Amino acid sequence: MRKLRWIAGLLMALLLPACGSSSTPTTPATPAPTPTPCTQTNVLQVDGSVPAASLARAPAFSVSTAGRLDITVDWTFAASPIGVYLVTAGACSIDQFNAQTCSFLARSEVTTKPRKFSVANTAAGNYELLVANFGTQDESISGQVVLSSSTCASFASAAKEASAPGFRGRLSESTRW
């Protein structure tokens, strides 16, 4: 009988602590934050012609919030040297352009067609897209500028000051698109 009491006491000593609460509370897992969605706003869409040896100026456009500008420009003839530039509205006259004294926010002078590049950290403000046809034949041009949030995939970035061979010469200003 003594042995039976001793076994019962041992069992109670082992089992009673399992009843009741634990000394360390469990905390629920923190859910992962919801990713910010990609947002894009079309701020400029242009189509038109750019005569040989001329500079075309798209209508000025406004960006109401800071963000990244994604620029796409396409033209007809792959052999044509086409330069694409982003400037602050009214900050680059044809004389300044020809003298190479404009302050470009972005400058893309490569032979890749269509031209696609991004301009990061663009402040709210007014801008102009300039397209230069350094070639000897008239071109049909289409262009688009999209304001994108940082969560959207970007194109390659364009340098502020980059030039390729064939992208020089005195240009005349064509009419706006």
Over the stretch 33-87, which tens digit does the pLDDT of each residue have?
Answer: 888 899 999 999 999 999 999 999 999 999 999 999 999 999 999 999 999 999 9
Q: How far apart are CA 177 and CA 171, in angstroms?
A: 16
User: Residue 29: its pLDDT value, please?
Assistant: 80
Query: Is the residue at 129 inside a domain?
Result: yes
Query: Is the residue at 98 inside a domain?
Result: yes
User: Residue 173: its pLDDT value, please?
Assistant: 80
User: Residue 156: its pLDDT value, please?
Assistant: 78
Query: Is the residue at 1 inside a domain?
Result: no
- Global pTM? 0.75
Query: Is the residue at 67 inside a domain?
Result: yes
Query: Is the residue at 71 inside a domain?
Result: yes
Q: What is the mean pLDDT of residues 3-18?
A: 57
pLDDT at 16 over 80: no
CB 70 within 8 A of CB 42: no
Lowest mean pLDDT among 7-11, 54-58, 109-113, 140-144: 7-11
Query: Is the residue at 12 inside a domain?
Result: no
Half-sphere exposure of 4 (CA within 13 A, CB side): 1
**In the chain, how many domains are there?**
1
User: Residue 136: its pLDDT value, please?
Assistant: 94
Query: Is the residue at 139 inside a domain?
Result: yes
User: Residue 9: its pLDDT value, please?
Assistant: 59
User: Residue 166: its pLDDT value, please?
Assistant: 58
Asked if the bond preceding 114 is cis, omega within 30° of 0, the reply is: yes
Q: What burial class does residue 111 get, using C-beta atoms within 10 Å of its C-beta: 0-12 exposed, 13-18 middle, 19+ buried? A: middle
CATH code of the domain covering residue 72: 2.60.120.380
Query: Is the residue at 11 inside a domain?
Result: no
Range of the domain at 135: 48-153
